[in-house]
């Protein structure tokens, strides 16, 4: 396994729309393992392949406290959305930026697992938020796209300060 580089906003590659996974093979399994290691190390609770500059429909998620319940979604598709919830979100591609985003309270997702079997997942609460957040990456969006222009401007300024400080201390 290897740590992967996470693209940072406003990298234009984050706007790439991911293509469906064509084949589940050892290369894809290695990518999943590398993405999981990268997510845990960051630390985060979700990572889309787009964020590591691989533009296929693949997401890894683990919202457990123990970090031992990895969920792998290949070619995920949301079938149902219900209710509304507001959650404060962050993103590994936008370090230090957090804001409240409105999303569905419950989603039903169809996806393939690592064995290529079709699965259905009903997710609520934080898991539903995470699924929707990561799937947005596959469509070329980041969570601040859901914010007002004022909040987007503030988020970009905060991120710019973070990047500047990181360069100074590096």
Residues in the chain: 170
Catalytic residue among 77, 118, 134, 139: 134
> In terms of Cα–Cα distance, which of 48, 63, 62 is closest to 14?
48
Is 134 a residue of the active site? yes
Asked if residue 45 lies in contact with residue 60, where contact means CB atoms within 8 angstroms, the answer is no
Question: How many whole angstroms separate alpha carbon 135 and alpha carbon 73?
Answer: 10
Report, as residue numbers or ranges, the catalytic residues: 134
């Amino acid at each position: 396994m290897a740590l992967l580089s996470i693209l940072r906003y406003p990298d234009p590659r984050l706007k790439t729309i991911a293509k469906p996974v064509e084949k589940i093979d050892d290369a894809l399994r290695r990518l999943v393992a590398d993405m999981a290691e990268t997510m845990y190390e960051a630390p985060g609770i979700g990572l889309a392949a787009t964020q590591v500059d691989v533009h296929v429909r693949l997401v890894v998620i683990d919202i457990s406290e123990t970090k031992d319940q990895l969920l792998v979604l290949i070619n995920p598709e949301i079938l149902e959305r219900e209710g509304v919830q507001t959650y404060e979100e962050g993103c590994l591609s936008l370090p230090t930026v957090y804001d409240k985003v409105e999303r569905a309270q419950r989603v039903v997702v169809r996806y393939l697992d690592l064995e290529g079997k079709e699965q259905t997942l009903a997710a609520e609460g934080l898991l539903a938020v995470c699924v929707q957040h990561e799937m947005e990456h596959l469509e070329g969006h980041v969570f601040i796209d859901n914010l007002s222009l004022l909040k987007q401007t503030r988020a970009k300024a905060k991120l710019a300060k973070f990047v500047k400080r990181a360069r100074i201390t590096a």
